[in-house]
């Protein structure tokens, strides 16, 4: 699939309404941290657990585009991991046949990028979202789903209850 594929203009997003992800993804090629672009993608591709064919196409387009980005941000891995987690829900459609091979190739490419980005990950959100994508695409869907859904307070609560981490260290980095 290429960006000029005419089918991309006729896909449905998370609201089950038409959404073409290309205009939102293009600015990320210039600035991978473009807040407006990420906001548009999150808003249109994922809604209360719903994803659809535009979400799948966005994974392909992001996989193709992100290879050329000098700096990848947490949003890339978090959005793709969220789409991959949610597409397994019974109420979401399968990846369309015409897109399936490209989708799985994009996931593998993004997994490789995430593995490479872990070495220099100083940002907790980048680390967490990259690990989520790696787990989801690497065969541990349950772990990836958990990582994609946890926020700082839930991680703190887990550590407090299970390992009394904060009692010993008392400092949050």
The mean pLDDT value for 99-106 works out to 97
* Res 171 pLDDT > 70: no
Residue 163 lies in a domain: yes
Question: What's the pLDDT score for residue 36?
Answer: 97
Distance CA 10, CA 30 (A): 25
Q: What is the pLDDT of residue 169?
A: 63
What are residue 47's DSSP bridge partners? 50
What pLDDT digit, counting tens, does each position of 55-66 carry? 999 999 999 999
The answer to whether residue 95 is domain-embedded is yes
DSSP state of 87: T
Of 15-24, 100-109, 124-133, 143-152, the least confident: 143-152
Say what percent of the chain tops pLDDT 90: 71
pLDDT category at 136 given cuts 50, 70, 90 is very high
Domain that holds residue 11: 6-169
Domain annotation covers residue 124: yes
Kindly report, residue by residue over 105-114, the tens digit of the pLDDT. 999 999 999 9
Please, how many CA atoms are within 13 Å of residue 53, restricted to the half-sphere of its CB? Answer: 14
Q: Is there a domain that residue 112 lies in?
A: yes
Whether 1 is in a domain gets the answer no
pLDDT band at 152 (very low <50, low <70, confident <90, very high): confident
Tell which residue, 17, 117, 23, has the closest CA to residue 73.
117
**Residue 167: its pLDDT value, please?**
64
Q: Does residue 39 belong to any structural domain of this protein?
A: yes
Number of folded domains in the chain?
Answer: 1
- Asked whether residue 53 is assigned to any structural domain, the reply reads yes
pLDDT at 42 over 90: yes
DSSP one-letter code for 93: P
Helix (H, G, I), strand (E, B), or coil: what is residue 40? helix
pTM: 0.90
């Amino acid at each position: 699939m290429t960006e000029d594929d005419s089918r991309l203009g006729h896909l449905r997003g998370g609201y089950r309404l038409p959404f073409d992800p290309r205009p939102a993804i293009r600015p990320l090629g210039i600035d991978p941290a473009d807040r407006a672009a990420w906001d548009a993608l999150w808003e249109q591709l994922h809604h209360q657990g719903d994803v659809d064919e535009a979400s799948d196409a966005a994974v392909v387009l992001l996989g193709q585009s992100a290879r050329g980005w000098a700096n990848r941000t947490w949003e890339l891995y978090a959005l793709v991991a969220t789409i991959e987690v949610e597409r397994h829900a019974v109420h979401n459609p399968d990846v369309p046949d015409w897109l399936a091979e490209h989708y799985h190739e994009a996931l593998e490419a993004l997994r490789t990028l995430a593995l490479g980005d872990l070495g220099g990950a100083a940002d907790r959100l980048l680390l967490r979202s990259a690990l989520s994508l790696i787990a989801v695409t690497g065969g541990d869907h349950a772990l990836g789903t958990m990582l994609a859904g946890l926020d700082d307070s839930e991680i703190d609560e887990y550590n407090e209850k299970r390992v009394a981490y904060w009692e010993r260290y008392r400092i949050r980095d």
